[in-house]
Amino acid sequence: MTTETPADLARAAATVIAEHTGTETHDIALVLGSGWGQTADLIGDTVATVENTTVPGFAGAAVAGHTGTMRSVEISGSGKRALVFGTRTHYYEGRGVRAVVHAVRSAAAAGCRTVVLTNGCGGLNPEWAPGTPVLISDHINLTGESPIEGANFVDLTDLYTPRLRDLAREVDPSLDEGVYVQFRGPHYETPAEVRMAKILGGDLVGMSTTLEAIAAREAGMEVLGVSLVTNPAAGISETPLSHEEVLEAGRAAAQRCGTLLAQIIGRM
Ligand code: 8IG
Protein backbone atom coordinates (compact mmCIF):
# COMPACT_ATOMS: atom_id res chain seq x y z
CA MET A 1 0.00 0.00 0.00
CA THR A 2 1.26 3.48 -0.80
CA THR A 3 0.23 6.52 1.20
CA GLU A 4 0.93 9.55 -0.92
CA THR A 5 1.03 12.71 1.17
CA PRO A 6 0.02 16.13 -0.19
CA ALA A 7 3.72 17.05 -0.15
CA ASP A 8 4.58 13.98 -2.27
CA LEU A 9 1.89 14.91 -4.80
CA ALA A 10 3.10 18.53 -4.90
CA ARG A 11 6.68 17.35 -5.53
CA ALA A 12 5.46 15.05 -8.31
CA ALA A 13 3.58 17.98 -9.86
CA ALA A 14 6.63 20.25 -9.58
CA THR A 15 8.76 17.66 -11.37
CA VAL A 16 6.31 17.48 -14.28
CA ILE A 17 5.97 21.29 -14.37
CA ALA A 18 9.76 21.59 -14.59
CA GLU A 19 9.83 19.06 -17.44
CA HIS A 20 7.01 20.68 -19.41
CA THR A 21 8.23 24.27 -18.94
CA GLY A 22 11.93 23.55 -19.28
CA THR A 23 12.44 25.60 -16.13
CA GLU A 24 13.77 24.03 -12.95
CA THR A 25 12.41 26.69 -10.60
CA HIS A 26 9.77 29.41 -10.69
CA ASP A 27 9.75 32.50 -8.47
CA ILE A 28 6.19 33.84 -8.24
CA ALA A 29 2.92 31.94 -8.49
CA LEU A 30 -0.23 33.65 -9.73
CA VAL A 31 -3.73 32.22 -9.42
CA LEU A 32 -6.20 33.87 -11.77
CA GLY A 33 -9.80 34.20 -10.58
CA SER A 34 -12.90 35.59 -12.28
CA GLY A 35 -12.08 38.73 -14.22
CA TRP A 36 -8.31 38.33 -14.04
CA GLY A 37 -7.76 36.16 -17.11
CA GLN A 38 -5.93 38.80 -19.15
CA THR A 39 -3.21 39.28 -16.60
CA ALA A 40 -0.86 36.57 -17.82
CA ASP A 41 -0.52 38.26 -21.22
CA LEU A 42 0.42 41.55 -19.61
CA ILE A 43 3.11 40.42 -17.18
CA GLY A 44 5.51 39.11 -19.79
CA ASP A 45 6.21 36.49 -22.44
CA THR A 46 4.64 33.08 -22.07
CA VAL A 47 7.44 30.54 -22.38
CA ALA A 48 5.34 27.40 -22.03
CA THR A 49 1.69 26.42 -21.62
CA VAL A 50 0.86 23.20 -19.81
CA GLU A 51 -2.49 21.41 -19.75
CA ASN A 52 -3.54 20.92 -16.13
CA THR A 53 -4.65 17.37 -16.89
CA THR A 54 -1.04 16.36 -17.66
CA VAL A 55 0.18 17.42 -14.19
CA PRO A 56 -0.26 15.08 -11.18
CA GLY A 57 -3.13 16.12 -8.90
CA PHE A 58 -4.65 18.72 -11.24
CA ALA A 59 -8.08 18.46 -12.88
CA GLY A 60 -9.47 20.40 -15.83
CA ALA A 61 -11.43 23.63 -15.47
CA ALA A 62 -14.78 23.21 -13.71
CA VAL A 63 -16.12 26.72 -14.34
CA ALA A 64 -16.92 27.87 -17.87
CA GLY A 65 -14.70 30.76 -18.89
CA HIS A 66 -11.76 29.55 -16.85
CA THR A 67 -8.96 27.82 -18.68
CA GLY A 68 -7.53 24.54 -17.51
CA THR A 69 -3.93 25.42 -18.22
CA MET A 70 -0.94 26.77 -16.39
CA ARG A 71 1.74 28.91 -17.96
CA SER A 72 5.35 29.72 -17.36
CA VAL A 73 5.82 33.43 -17.97
CA GLU A 74 9.08 35.40 -18.08
CA ILE A 75 8.28 38.56 -16.16
CA SER A 76 9.15 41.73 -18.09
CA GLY A 77 11.81 43.78 -16.38
CA SER A 78 12.81 41.50 -13.53
CA GLY A 79 13.47 38.40 -15.61
CA LYS A 80 11.89 36.33 -12.86
CA ARG A 81 9.65 33.43 -13.74
CA ALA A 82 5.96 33.33 -12.93
CA LEU A 83 3.91 30.18 -12.77
CA VAL A 84 0.41 31.30 -13.74
CA PHE A 85 -2.58 29.09 -12.97
CA GLY A 86 -5.46 29.94 -15.32
CA THR A 87 -8.02 28.35 -13.04
CA ARG A 88 -8.42 27.06 -9.51
CA THR A 89 -10.24 24.25 -7.77
CA HIS A 90 -12.98 25.66 -5.56
CA TYR A 91 -14.01 24.19 -2.25
CA TYR A 92 -17.63 23.95 -3.47
CA GLU A 93 -16.56 21.46 -6.15
CA GLY A 94 -16.42 18.83 -3.43
CA ARG A 95 -13.00 17.42 -4.38
CA GLY A 96 -11.72 18.12 -0.90
CA VAL A 97 -9.40 20.68 0.63
CA ARG A 98 -6.26 18.92 -0.62
CA ALA A 99 -7.39 19.52 -4.20
CA VAL A 100 -8.18 23.18 -3.43
CA VAL A 101 -4.66 23.96 -2.25
CA HIS A 102 -2.71 21.60 -4.53
CA ALA A 103 -1.75 24.37 -6.97
CA VAL A 104 -0.29 26.49 -4.17
CA ARG A 105 1.64 23.53 -2.76
CA SER A 106 2.89 22.61 -6.22
CA ALA A 107 4.03 26.19 -6.78
CA ALA A 108 5.92 26.10 -3.48
CA ALA A 109 7.51 22.80 -4.51
CA ALA A 110 8.43 24.43 -7.86
CA GLY A 111 10.39 27.08 -5.96
CA CYS A 112 7.88 29.95 -5.70
CA ARG A 113 8.41 32.07 -2.59
CA THR A 114 5.49 34.40 -3.36
CA VAL A 115 1.93 33.74 -4.42
CA VAL A 116 -0.55 36.23 -5.82
CA LEU A 117 -4.15 35.10 -5.28
CA THR A 118 -6.84 36.87 -7.30
CA ASN A 119 -10.60 36.42 -7.30
CA GLY A 120 -13.90 37.94 -8.28
CA CYS A 121 -16.20 38.70 -5.38
CA GLY A 122 -19.10 40.68 -3.97
CA GLY A 123 -18.44 44.00 -2.24
CA LEU A 124 -20.02 45.29 0.98
CA ASN A 125 -18.90 48.89 0.50
CA PRO A 126 -21.47 50.58 -1.79
CA GLU A 127 -18.73 52.88 -3.06
CA TRP A 128 -17.02 49.94 -4.75
CA ALA A 129 -18.57 49.96 -8.19
CA PRO A 130 -18.44 46.74 -10.19
CA GLY A 131 -14.93 46.53 -11.60
CA THR A 132 -13.12 47.92 -8.53
CA PRO A 133 -9.95 46.03 -7.49
CA VAL A 134 -9.46 45.79 -3.69
CA LEU A 135 -6.43 44.50 -1.77
CA ILE A 136 -7.15 41.76 0.75
CA SER A 137 -5.88 42.89 4.16
CA ASP A 138 -7.07 39.86 6.13
CA HIS A 139 -9.68 37.14 5.90
CA ILE A 140 -12.45 35.31 7.73
CA ASN A 141 -12.62 31.65 6.75
CA LEU A 142 -16.21 30.47 7.10
CA THR A 143 -15.64 27.11 5.43
CA GLY A 144 -14.91 25.44 8.75
CA GLU A 145 -11.92 23.79 7.06
CA SER A 146 -8.14 24.06 7.25
CA PRO A 147 -5.72 22.82 4.62
CA ILE A 148 -3.20 22.00 7.34
CA GLU A 149 -3.03 18.37 8.37
CA GLY A 150 -1.68 17.46 11.78
CA ALA A 151 -0.72 19.58 14.79
CA ASN A 152 1.02 22.38 12.91
CA PHE A 153 -0.05 25.63 14.56
CA VAL A 154 0.73 28.08 11.79
CA ASP A 155 0.68 31.79 12.70
CA LEU A 156 -1.62 33.79 10.41
CA THR A 157 -0.78 37.26 11.71
CA ASP A 158 0.04 39.33 8.63
CA LEU A 159 -1.02 36.46 6.39
CA TYR A 160 -1.43 38.97 3.55
CA THR A 161 2.12 40.31 3.52
CA PRO A 162 2.14 44.04 4.44
CA ARG A 163 5.25 44.63 2.30
CA LEU A 164 3.43 43.39 -0.81
CA ARG A 165 0.34 45.48 -0.03
CA ASP A 166 2.60 48.53 0.31
CA LEU A 167 4.16 47.67 -3.04
CA ALA A 168 0.69 47.47 -4.61
CA ARG A 169 -0.23 50.90 -3.23
CA GLU A 170 2.99 52.36 -4.60
CA VAL A 171 1.73 51.30 -8.03
CA ASP A 172 -1.82 52.55 -7.37
CA PRO A 173 -2.27 54.77 -4.28
CA SER A 174 -6.06 54.74 -4.78
CA LEU A 175 -6.33 51.02 -3.98
CA ASP A 176 -8.63 50.26 -1.05
CA GLU A 177 -8.19 47.19 1.11
CA GLY A 178 -10.61 44.99 2.98
CA VAL A 179 -11.32 41.79 4.86
CA TYR A 180 -12.33 38.90 2.59
CA VAL A 181 -14.97 36.53 3.91
CA GLN A 182 -15.03 33.10 2.33
CA PHE A 183 -18.40 31.39 2.24
CA ARG A 184 -18.71 27.80 1.08
CA GLY A 185 -20.88 28.58 -1.97
CA PRO A 186 -21.73 27.82 -4.70
CA HIS A 187 -24.89 29.78 -3.95
CA TYR A 188 -24.45 33.48 -3.28
CA GLU A 189 -25.28 34.86 0.16
CA THR A 190 -28.67 35.89 1.42
CA PRO A 191 -28.92 39.58 2.38
CA ALA A 192 -28.98 38.44 6.05
CA GLU A 193 -25.70 36.57 5.55
CA VAL A 194 -24.17 39.66 3.97
CA ARG A 195 -25.26 41.72 7.01
CA MET A 196 -23.67 39.04 9.20
CA ALA A 197 -20.43 39.29 7.23
CA LYS A 198 -20.42 43.04 7.82
CA ILE A 199 -21.01 42.64 11.57
CA LEU A 200 -18.14 40.14 11.66
CA GLY A 201 -15.82 42.72 10.13
CA GLY A 202 -15.96 41.67 6.49
CA ASP A 203 -15.74 43.88 3.40
CA LEU A 204 -15.73 41.33 0.59
CA VAL A 205 -17.62 38.06 0.13
CA GLY A 206 -16.40 35.22 -2.04
CA MET A 207 -15.92 31.50 -2.47
CA SER A 208 -12.16 31.04 -2.69
CA THR A 209 -8.72 32.23 -1.59
CA THR A 210 -8.61 31.74 2.20
CA LEU A 211 -7.66 28.05 2.19
CA GLU A 212 -5.03 28.72 -0.48
CA ALA A 213 -3.59 31.60 1.53
CA ILE A 214 -3.30 29.40 4.64
CA ALA A 215 -1.57 26.63 2.67
CA ALA A 216 0.79 29.19 1.18
CA ARG A 217 1.72 30.48 4.61
CA GLU A 218 2.21 26.94 5.88
CA ALA A 219 4.66 26.50 2.98
CA GLY A 220 6.46 29.70 4.01
CA MET A 221 5.35 31.80 1.04
CA GLU A 222 4.49 35.49 1.03
CA VAL A 223 0.90 36.17 -0.05
CA LEU A 224 -0.68 39.01 -1.98
CA GLY A 225 -4.46 38.83 -2.36
CA VAL A 226 -6.40 41.02 -4.77
CA SER A 227 -10.15 40.90 -5.25
CA LEU A 228 -12.10 42.28 -8.16
CA VAL A 229 -15.47 43.48 -6.91
CA THR A 230 -17.77 42.38 -9.72
CA ASN A 231 -21.05 43.04 -7.91
CA PRO A 232 -22.42 44.63 -4.75
CA ALA A 233 -23.07 41.76 -2.31
CA ALA A 234 -26.70 40.66 -1.95
CA GLY A 235 -28.87 43.36 -0.37
CA ILE A 236 -26.19 46.08 -0.64
CA SER A 237 -27.61 47.58 -3.81
CA GLU A 238 -31.21 48.76 -3.78
CA THR A 239 -31.74 47.92 -7.39
CA PRO A 240 -31.32 44.31 -8.50
CA LEU A 241 -28.15 43.86 -10.49
CA SER A 242 -28.21 43.63 -14.21
CA HIS A 243 -26.03 40.69 -15.14
CA GLU A 244 -25.12 42.48 -18.36
CA GLU A 245 -23.90 45.48 -16.35
CA VAL A 246 -21.75 43.23 -14.20
CA LEU A 247 -20.26 41.54 -17.26
CA GLU A 248 -19.59 44.90 -18.86
CA ALA A 249 -17.95 46.20 -15.67
CA GLY A 250 -15.76 43.11 -15.68
CA ARG A 251 -14.74 43.64 -19.27
CA ALA A 252 -14.03 47.31 -18.65
CA ALA A 253 -11.97 46.46 -15.55
CA ALA A 254 -9.96 43.69 -17.18
CA GLN A 255 -7.41 46.00 -18.73
CA ARG A 256 -6.98 48.08 -15.55
CA CYS A 257 -6.67 44.99 -13.35
CA GLY A 258 -4.27 43.27 -15.69
CA THR A 259 -2.07 46.35 -15.97
CA LEU A 260 -2.16 46.89 -12.20
CA LEU A 261 -1.10 43.35 -11.43
CA ALA A 262 1.55 43.34 -14.14
CA GLN A 263 3.08 46.47 -12.61
CA ILE A 264 2.98 45.02 -9.10
CA ILE A 265 4.52 41.72 -10.19
CA GLY A 266 7.16 43.54 -12.21
CA ARG A 267 8.33 45.20 -8.97
CA MET A 268 8.41 42.08 -6.84
I1 8IG B 1 -18.01 37.17 -9.00
O2 8IG B 1 -21.46 38.23 -4.23
C3 8IG B 1 -18.73 36.82 -7.13
N4 8IG B 1 -18.35 35.77 -6.40
N5 8IG B 1 -19.81 34.49 -2.15
N6 8IG B 1 -20.64 36.39 -3.20
C7 8IG B 1 -19.82 35.29 -3.21
N8 8IG B 1 -19.01 35.01 -4.22
C9 8IG B 1 -19.04 35.83 -5.28
C10 8IG B 1 -19.85 36.97 -5.34
C11 8IG B 1 -20.70 37.26 -4.24
N12 8IG B 1 -19.64 37.58 -6.53
Closest CA to 189 of 148, 140, 116, 155: 140
Is any atom of ligand 1 closer than 6 Å to the C-beta of 182? no
Closest CA to 209 of 162, 139, 158: 139
Distance 204 CA to ligand 1 centre (A): 8
If pLDDT is split at 50, 70 and 90, which confidence band does 255 have?
confident
3-class DSSP assignment, residue 57:
coil
Interatomic CA distance for residues 157 and 205, integer angstroms: 20
Tell which atom from ligand 1 comes closest to the C-alpha of 230: 1
For residue 203, count other CB atoms closer than 10 A to its CB: 24
Is any atom of ligand 1 closer than 6 Å to the C-beta of 210? no
Dihedral sign (CA 233, 85, 166, 155): positive
Q: What is the mean pLDDT of residues 11-19?
A: 97
Q: Which residues pair with 74 in a beta bridge?
A: 45, 81
| pLDDT tens digit sequence for 223-241 | 999 999 999 999 998 766 6
Q: Please tell me the predicted confidence (pLDDT) of residue 210.
A: 98
User: Which candidate in 177, 189, 193, 212 is catalytic?
Assistant: 189
Quote the crossing angle between the two packed helices 162-171 and 243-267, to the nearest 10°.
Answer: 110
pLDDT at position 209 over 90: yes
Give the residue with greater pLDDT, 222 vs 257: 222
Is any atom of ligand 1 closer than 6 Å to the C-beta of 194? no
| pLDDT tens digit sequence for 57-99 | 998 655 555 558 999 999 988 889 999 999 999 999 999 999 9
Q: What is the mean pLDDT of residues 191-201?
A: 97
pLDDT at position 247 over 80: no
Q: Please tell me the predicted confidence (pLDDT) of residue 126.
A: 94
Distance 233 CA to ligand 1 centre (A): 7
If pLDDT is split at 50, 70 and 90, which confidence band does 30 have?
very high
The question of whether 189 is a catalytic residue gets the answer: yes
Its pTM stands at: 0.94
- Does the domain made of 6-266 have the CATH classification 3.40.50.360? no
Identify the weakest region by mean pLDDT among 9-18, 54-63, 168-177.
Answer: 54-63
Is any atom of ligand 1 closer than 6 Å to the C-beta of 188? yes
